[in-house]
Chain A
Amino acid sequence: MFDAIVIGSGMSGGMAAKELCERGLKTLVLERGRKLEHGTSYTDSLQPWELPNAGGIPEEELARDYPIQRQCYAVNSATQQYWVKDSEHPYETPADKPFSWIRGYHLGGRSIMWGRQTYRLSELDLSANARDGHGVDWPIRYADLAPWYDHVERFIGVSGEAEGLPQLPDGQFLPAMPMTDGEKLFKAAVERQFGDRKVIMGRCAHLTEAQPQHTELGRAPCQYRSLCERGCSYGAYHSSLSSSLPAAERTGNLTIVTDAIVHSIITDPATGKATGVRVIDQNTRAATTYQARVVFLCASTIGTAQILLNSASAAHPRGLANGSDQVGRNLMDHVYGPSVQAIMDGPETYYRGRRPNGLYIPRYRNIAGQEEPYVRGFGFQGRVMRQGWRQMAGSAPAVGAALKDQTRHPGPWLAGLAGFGEMLPNPANRVTLHPTRTDAWGLPQLVIDCSHGENDRAIGRQMLEDAKAMVRAAGGRIVRETARLHPPGLGIHEMGTARMGRDPATSVLNRYNQAHEVPNLFITDGAAMASSGCQNPSLTYMALSARAAYHAAEFLKAGTI
Chain B
Amino acid sequence: MLELDRRNLLAVVAGLIGAAALPSGALAAAATPARAGLDPATRALVTAVADTLIPRTDTPGARDAGVPAVFAALMRDWASAERRATCLGALQAIDTAAQTTAGQPFARLSPARRTAVLTAHDAARLGSDAGYTMTKELLVALYYLSEPGATRELRYEHAPGAWEASIPLTAQTRAWAGA
Contact = CB atoms under 8 A, between A and B. Distances in A.
Interface residues of A, number: 81
A469 to B, nearest CB: 18
Nearest to B12: A390
A352 B145 contact: no
A60 B123 contact: no
Contacts of A228: 1
A269 interface: no
Contact of A73 (B3, B146, B165, B174): B3
Nearest to A183: B165
Interface in A63-88: 63-64, 67, 70-71, 73-76, 78
A76 B147 CA distance: 20
B79 interface: yes
B164 interface: yes
Interface in A412-431: 416-418
Interface in B127-156: 127, 133, 136-137, 140-142, 144-147, 150, 153-154, 156
A398 B53 CA distance: 8
Interface in B49-103: 52-55, 57, 59, 70, 73-74, 77-81, 83
B80 A181 contact: no
Contacts of A381: 2-4
Contacts of B147: 47, 49
B78 A356 contact: no
B163 A403 contact: no
Given A351-B167, A399-B118, A408-B154, A48 B177 contact: yes
B15 to A, nearest CB: 9
Given A178-B163, A223-B159, A59 B74 contact: no
A350 B156 contact: no
B34 interface: no
A386 B164 CA distance: 14
A343 B90 CA distance: 31
Contacts of B164: 351-353
B119 interface: yes
B23 to A, nearest CB: 8
Given A63-B22, A403-B53, A394 B137 contact: yes
Interface string B5-49: 111111111001111101011011010100000000000000000
A349 B59 contact: no
A226 interface: yes
A474 B40 CA distance: 53
Contacts of B53: 399-400, 403
A289 interface: no
B77 A53 contact: yes
Nearest to B6: A73
Contacts of B178: 48, 226, 354, 388
Given A223-B161, A353-B163, A397-B123, A410 B175 contact: yes
A208 B81 CA distance: 46
Contacts of A354: 1, 160, 163, 176, 178
B8 A341 contact: yes
B175 A388 contact: yes
* Best-surrounded residue of A47, A356, A357 (most CB of chain B within 10 A): A47
Contacts of B157: 352-353
B175 A392 contact: yes
Nearest to A385: B5
Contacts of B7: 73, 339, 418
Contact of B54 (A53, A403, A480): A403
Interface of A: 45, 47-49, 51, 53-60, 62-64, 67, 70-71, 73-76, 78, 115, 117, 177-181, 202, 222-226, 228-229, 339, 341, 347-358, 381-383, 386, 388-394, 396-401, 403-404, 407-411, 416-418, 480
Given A59-B80, A351-B163, A416-B8, 20 more contacts: A55-B16, A56-B16, A56-B18, A60-B30, A226-B5, A351-B164, A351-B165, A353-B164, A354-B176, A381-B4, A386-B175, A393-B144, A397-B126, A399-B119, A400-B115, A404-B54, A404-B59, A407-B154, A409-B173, A418-B7
Cβ-closest 7 pairs across A and B: A73-B6, A63-B27, A353-B160, A178-B165, A59-B80, A353-B163, A358-B2
19 contacts: A49-B147, A56-B17, A56-B78, A60-B27, A60-B30, A63-B80, A78-B179, A115-B3, A178-B166, A226-B1, A226-B178, A348-B169, A349-B167, A351-B163, A356-B1, A383-B2, A397-B123, A400-B55, A410-B173
